[in-house]
Chains A and B, each alone.
Chain A
Amino acid sequence: MKVVIVGNGIAGNRVATELRERDKEIGICILSAEAVPEYDPCSLPYFLAGNIGKKDVFKKTVEDYQRLDIDIVFNSNVVAIDPEAKRVKTDEGVESGYDKLVLAHGGALFIPPIEGIRSAGVFSCKQLLETEKLEAHNGSKAVVIGSGAIGIEAAEALKKKGYAVHIIELLGWVLPVLFDEPTARILEAALEENGIHVHTGEKVLQIKGEGTVTSVVTDKREIECDTVVVATGVVPGTALAKTALIETGRGIKVNRKMETSVSDIYACGDCVETFDSCTEETVMFQLKHNAIEQAQIVARNILGDNARYLGAYAFARVHFFDTHASTFGKTMRATECMLGKSELIEKQDGDDYLRVVLLDGKVLGGQAVGRYADAIGLLIGAMWRKEDMGRVRDKWNKIPQSGAACLWPLIRLGQLIGPAAQGSHP
């Protein structure tokens, strides 16, 4: 059997290594649009900052592919699938036949239609080639467009390299998908304290410069700069899947076995839309842990298992200078349109902050800055177990001393959640 994997990223390589671990004979071919062995995009901002060298970004060498008997083809941009003939074709007309096909080509940076966005001096930090150019660039004043995880990390990296840095965020606060406003404001204050200027609720209208960037114009101000980093989000690639008439929504649609709507074609990683492990809603959580878990399911099912994906979950950490923060599950803002009794728990102790979102007495999400973030793992566990927090509140300090130590996670959860709030949210 020959398995062709489109995409040389985290998901694609995890499929390949899991297949090879379980089956020494199966044919595995990875078609990579880039020209380098597997690297981790999450490492790129730290290469940019100079924390680590370029070699530490890579997860594989060319020899690793040979050792694992994985056929790797570089500069292979797949543009069409023929599911009847079971062949894929690249933009140079090179065709490959498959028995099973895995789409793991991820997402691409969304490039907003801003005048001047193609100028010299404008970079991104999503792929290695672009990040290398940014790392080699000799600038001193940077504007980062977008304050998602990549934007924040790129901003910190450039600040460490001595740049003056401004972040422009279109929505009302930084990291608007991962954090609620109160938590985000704490992070904004910390960014400002570290010398990174943050402008929220602001839109970039134009990138000015003859030949190379000289300034960025927003709807509120003009900022002189010689470097722009576009960090405006990742859009999953669905164009390729559509050539095979595979069902897509915002991403490629897959069932719980990670199969697409066309037989013998699977998909995993940033290019798919899937379901939330707790709420079962359709979600796009384009995060590394989800890519890895989905890829494992694909590999097992290709080999004939009946493995079922347990669903995606949102978990992210934000770290810049001395600020540590983490988030999981739903934000309070995302809960506002859900039916049920919601409750918000907030705790503040100096620079440490915790917020936990409950719905019908169960943990739905949480955000923490500082010391409280250490307990995020316990809260995630409570979310998955659908723990009744009302019961935890009743019992946590009434457990008999002789057995209390064995139930320490529940005691810790009880301490964090605290007593029920007076009154309730509808």
Chain B
Amino acid sequence: MAIRREQLVVDPQKCTGCQQCLIACSMQHQGNINPKLAMLKILRLESQELDIPVICMACDNAPCIKVCPMNARVRQENGTVITNTDVCIGCRACVYICPVGSPAVNPYTGQTMTCDMCKDDNAGPWCVTACREGALNVSKYDMLTREVVRERAGRSRAIYPNIG
């Protein structure tokens, strides 16, 4: 697989839980306005009143591909990993092994689904367009460098430093 040049990146600090992304995603993929049919999820953490968009990160060494009994998790040309619904039997192994539990479960078919970055659509990811807060962005080229990743991690470290 060629090295990916793009990835959807979430800035959870900006999410307000408005669900426009879920609506846009379900429109694009299912032709239906139904947040339950979106390929991304918003995790609501009530204790801190946080809304966290959870999206498949298309890991280079994706564990979901290794645990699927039907080999239904398939790497696409754009680097994303999607579920082949011809053979998915809805066991959710991919959900349970995912480091962030990202695969969404279609409540009507029981099959899983994950973000494909709207690969067949020239407009690009609909959720990025729909989000008014700028919580979703497409990172390109050198935005995914080690330096950028470290800076982001550093923000967390500043709040939650290691002791010793």
Q: Is B145 in the interface zone, CB < 8 Å from A?
A: no
Q: Is B91 in the interface zone, CB < 8 Å from A?
A: yes
B67 near A289 (CB under 8 angstroms)? yes
| Among B12, B67, B163: residue with most chain A CB under 10 A | B67
Q: Is A20 in the interface zone, CB < 8 Å from B?
A: no
- The residue from B50, B67, B90, B99 contacting A411, defined by CB atoms under 8 A apart: B50
A408 CB contacts on chain B under 8 angstroms: 12, 43, 45, 50, 52
Q: What mask results when residues 58 to 91 of chain B are scored 1 for a CB within 8 Å of chain A, else 0?
A: 0000010011011100000000000000110111
B97 near A405 (CB under 8 angstroms)? no
Looking across the interface, which residue of chain B has its beta carbon closest to that of A406?
B156
Nearest CB in chain A: distance from B81 CB, A: 14
Number of A-B contacts (CB under 8 A): 117
Within 8 A of B (CB), among A218-250: none
In the assembled complex, the Cα of A350 lies from the Cα of B163 at a distance in Å of 39
A377 near B50 (CB under 8 angstroms)? no
A43 CB contacts on chain B under 8 angstroms: 69-71
B97 near A377 (CB under 8 angstroms)? yes
Interface of chain A: mostly helix, strand, loop or mixed: helix
Within 8 A of A (CB), among B82-120: 86-87, 89-93, 95-101
Interface of chain B: mostly helix, strand, loop or mixed: mixed
In the assembled complex, the Cα of A319 lies from the Cα of B105 at a distance in Å of 14
Q: Is A378 in the interface zone, CB < 8 Å from B?
A: yes
Q: Is B21 in the interface zone, CB < 8 Å from A?
A: no
A411 near B87 (CB under 8 angstroms)? no
B155 CB contacts on chain A under 8 angstroms: 403, 406
In the assembled complex, the Cα of A56 lies from the Cα of B86 at a distance in Å of 9
Q: A317-B91, A395-B160 are in contact. Are A406 and B13 (CB under 8 A)?
A: yes
Q: Is B122 in the interface zone, CB < 8 Å from A?
A: no
Looking across the interface, which residue of chain B has its beta carbon closest to that of A44?
B69
In the assembled complex, the Cα of A110 lies from the Cα of B72 at a distance in Å of 29
Q: What mask results when residues 383 to 412 of chain A are scored 1 for a CB within 8 Å of chain B, else 0?
A: 000000001000101011111111111111
A373 near B50 (CB under 8 angstroms)? no
B96 near A288 (CB under 8 angstroms)? no
In the assembled complex, the Cα of A114 lies from the Cα of B32 at a distance in Å of 57
Nearest CB in chain A: distance from B161 CB, A: 11
- The residue from B12, B13, B69, B158 contacting A40, defined by CB atoms under 8 A apart: B69
In the assembled complex, the Cα of A408 lies from the Cα of B93 at a distance in Å of 22
A409 CB contacts on chain B under 8 angstroms: 100
Nearest CB in chain A: distance from B78 CB, A: 19
Q: Is B15 in the interface zone, CB < 8 Å from A?
A: yes
- The residue from A40, A59, A326 contacting B96, defined by CB atoms under 8 A apart: A326
Q: Is A42 in the interface zone, CB < 8 Å from B?
A: yes
B43 CB contacts on chain A under 8 angstroms: 408, 412
| Among A315, A377, A380: residue with most chain B CB under 10 A | A377
A292 near B158 (CB under 8 angstroms)? no
Nearest CB in chain B: distance from A365 CB, A: 14
- The residue from B47, B89, B99, B152 contacting A377, defined by CB atoms under 8 A apart: B99
B97 near A403 (CB under 8 angstroms)? no
A288 near B67 (CB under 8 angstroms)? yes
A381 CB contacts on chain B under 8 angstroms: 99
B45 near A412 (CB under 8 angstroms)? yes
Q: Is A181 in the interface zone, CB < 8 Å from B?
A: no
Q: Is A82 in the interface zone, CB < 8 Å from B?
A: no
- The residue from A42, A56, A405 contacting B13, defined by CB atoms under 8 A apart: A405
Q: Is A376 in the interface zone, CB < 8 Å from B?
A: yes
In the assembled complex, the Cα of A376 lies from the Cα of B102 at a distance in Å of 12
| Among B90, B96, B155: residue with most chain A CB under 10 A | B96
Q: What mask results when residues 302 to 342 of chain A are scored 1 for a CB within 8 Å of chain B, else 0?
A: 00000000000001010100001010000000000000000
A65 CB contacts on chain B under 8 angstroms: none
Nearest CB in chain A: distance from B90 CB, A: 7
Q: Is B123 in the interface zone, CB < 8 Å from A?
A: no
A378 CB contacts on chain B under 8 angstroms: 99-101
In the assembled complex, the Cα of A395 lies from the Cα of B159 at a distance in Å of 10
A407 near B156 (CB under 8 angstroms)? yes
Nearest CB in chain A: distance from B110 CB, A: 9
A319 near B67 (CB under 8 angstroms)? no
A42 near B52 (CB under 8 angstroms)? no
A sample of 20 inter-chain contacts (CB < 8 A) reads A46-B70, A56-B70, A59-B71, A315-B97, A317-B91, A319-B90, A381-B99, A391-B163, A395-B160, A397-B47, A399-B160, A403-B158, A406-B156, A406-B159, A407-B159, A408-B50, A409-B100, A410-B160, A411-B50, A412-B43
B interface, CB within 8 angstroms of A:
12-13, 15, 43, 45, 47-48, 50, 52, 63, 66-67, 69-71, 86-87, 89-93, 95-101, 152, 155-156, 158-160, 163
Add 19 more A-B contacts to A319-B89, A406-B159 (CB < 8 A): A40-B71, A46-B89, A56-B86, A288-B66, A288-B67, A289-B67, A315-B67, A319-B90, A319-B91, A324-B91, A373-B95, A377-B98, A380-B99, A391-B163, A395-B160, A403-B155, A405-B52, A407-B159, A408-B12
3 shortest interchain CB distances as A-B pairs: A42-B69, A405-B12, A403-B159
